[in-house]
Amino acid sequence: MTTYRLMMLGPPGAGKGTQAKRLAERFEIPHVSTGDMLRQARRKGTELGKKAAEYMNAGKLVPDEVVIGIVRDRLSEDDAEGGFILDGFPRTRPQAEALTEMGIELDAVVNVVVSDDEVVKRLGGRISCPNCGAVYHKEYNPPAEDDKCDACGQEGLITRDDDKPEAIRSRLSGYHEKTAPLIEYYEAQGALKNIDGESAPDEVTEAIVEELEAN
């Protein structure tokens, strides 16, 4: 039986969340994103959920052992028997090793590859309304009237500090630093599938499916 125990990798702006959702629908497997999982565990009030909540409420990063426990619980649920798509986990090599130690093997790690310049282009064009927070994109999703918010009529849209090219480049260098050992780890296991993420979203989905079904 074909199982699709997958993990998604890709820089911010690569569209990996969108692809994960589409693959989940296509293969009828759950899309397991770390953020959703943490919120769910917190809502359910499990032991680990309560622990995670303490960190989240304090605005702190939830430590590895808590996240790993929550992932283990989630993947042992019935709907994950035929496979799953992990999104946002593992983020580091120790987390990846912990996953392997749990006895969870991945069939494929889908790495959505988008160049830094393309990410800067995608994320760098974001403009926000200082009044209501609506977000636009200079090129891909501009407001109807130049420099005016569609939602509230505010004039003078701004580029938030997070969306400035230098901020994006610094986030990207952090991303590459953290994921390089992860990529090496999965490459050595023969699980890594590099997919060109610069084409249209539909084409990216098809390229991923083709690659997975070829194996």
Which residues here bind Zn ion, judged by CB under 5 A? 129, 131-132, 134, 149, 151-152, 154
- Residue placing its CB nearer to Zn ion in the complex, 63 or 130: 130
Residue 43 catalytic?
A: no
Contacts of residue 89, Cβ cutoff 8 Å, sequence gap at least 6: 7, 32, 34, 67, 71, 95, 99
Residue 72 catalytic?
A: no
- Residue 214, CA distances (Å) to 5, 64, 112, 191, 209 in order: 15, 34, 17, 13, 8
- Residue placing its CB nearer to Zn ion in the complex, 156 or 174: 156
Catalytic pick among 91, 93, 164, 169: 91
Cis bond before residue 90 (omega within 30° of 0): yes
Residue 139 beta carbon to Zn ion: minimum distance, rounded to whole angstroms: 19
Residue 13 beta carbon to Zn ion: minimum distance, rounded to whole angstroms: 23
Task: Map tokens 């760098």 to a residue.
Answer: 124
Catalytic pick among 26, 138, 160, 178: 160
- Residue placing its CB nearer to Zn ion in the complex, 40 or 159: 159
Residue 74 catalytic?
A: no
- Residue placing its CB nearer to Zn ion in the complex, 151 or 180: 151
H or E stretch at 101: helix 93-101
- Residue placing its CB nearer to Zn ion in the complex, 153 or 201: 153
Residue 12 beta carbon to Zn ion: minimum distance, rounded to whole angstroms: 24
User: From CA 114, how far away is CA 197, in angstroms rounded?
Assistant: 5
User: From CA 151, how far away is CA 135, in angstroms rounded?
Assistant: 10
Residue 171 catalytic?
A: yes
Residue 154 beta carbon to Zn ion: minimum distance, rounded to whole angstroms: 4
Q: Which of 140, 147, 148 is nearest to 123 (CA)?
A: 140
Tokens of 183: 């990529």
Residue 159 beta carbon to Zn ion: minimum distance, rounded to whole angstroms: 15
Q: Which of 87, 104, 100 is nearest to 14 (CA)?
A: 87
Catalytic pick among 5, 16, 51, 193: 16
**Active-site positions?**
16, 91, 126, 160, 171
